[in-house]
């Protein structure tokens, strides 16, 4: 999985590419942890994300609880389906 992080002031945009599975999800956690503590708003770009499992979803919850604002962008229908199964679609700001 490739993680592309762009920081702009107190907001950061993290673009994910590939599979966010049990093996790779810790990488997302690491990427967020590495951000400056001034970053309060995070935007996750799922445009190139092919796959997400519960481990990935768990990381999203961790990030959600950590920051002030979390926006998920460019969600593919497949992943949207998984959000729907878990009720994430109702709690997350999906654009």
Partner 1 sequence: MSVKEAADSRPKKRGSVLRFITAIFLTVIVITGIACSVVGYLDVIHDIHDTSSQTAHSVSVILEDMYNSDVVSGNEGLLQADFRRDERMERVSKMLQLLCKDLDLVYLYVFTIDEEEKEYLYYFTAAADEEINEKVSQERGFGTVVPTDSFPQSVLAASKGATNTEVWKNENKYGKVYSWMYPLFDKEGNVRYIVGVDFDATKIENEIFQHTLRTSASIVLILLIMFLLLLILIRRKVLVPIKFVSTKMNRFMDDKERDDTPLDISVNNEVGEIADSFNKMRNDINQYLTEISTLTTERVQTQTQMEIAQRIQYGIVPAETYLNTKSYDAYAVERPCRNVGGDFYDLFVRDGDTLCAAVGDVSGKGVTAALFMVMVRTAIREKLLSGLSPARVLNLINDEICASNPEGLFATVFIAVLHLATGRLEYANAGHTPPVLLGQSETFLKVDSGIPVGLFEDAGIENAERLLAPGEGFLLYTDGVTEAVSKGGQFFGHERVLSATKGKKDARETVISLKADVRTFAEGREQFDDLTILAFFYGTYEPELSLAPQRSEWEKLKAFVLDKTDSSPLQKKLMLICDEIFTNIVSYSGAKKIGFSCEKEARCFTLLFTDDGKPFDPLSEKQNKKDFEEYDMGGMGILLVRQTADSIYYQRHDGQNRLLCRVDISADNKKITI
Residue ranges that bind partner 1, judged by CB under 8 A: 21-23, 50-51, 53-55, 57-58, 61-62, 64-65, 78, 82, 85-88, 91
Nearer to partner 1 among residue 17 and residue 50 (C-beta): 50
- Shortest distance (Å) from residue 61 CB to partner 1: 4
Separation between Cα atoms, residue 16 and residue 2, nearest integer Å: 6
**3, 16 Cβ separation under 8 angstroms:** yes
Nearer to partner 1 among residue 61 and residue 71 (C-beta): 61
Query: How buried is residue 56: exposed, middle or buried, by Cβ count under 10 Å (0-12/13-18/19+)?
Result: buried
């Amino acid at each position: 999985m490739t993680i592309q992080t762009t920081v702009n002031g107190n907001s950061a945009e993290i673009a994910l590419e590939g599979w966010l599975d049990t093996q790779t999800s810790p990488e997302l956690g690491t990427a967020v942890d590495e951000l400056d503590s001034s970053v309060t708003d995070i935007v996750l770009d799922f445009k190139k994300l092919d796959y997400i499992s519960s481990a990935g979803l768990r990381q999203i919850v961790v990030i959600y609880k950590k920051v002030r604002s979390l926006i998920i962008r460019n969600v593919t229908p497949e992943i949207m389906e998984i959000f729907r199964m878990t009720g994430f679609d109702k709690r997350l700001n999906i654009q």
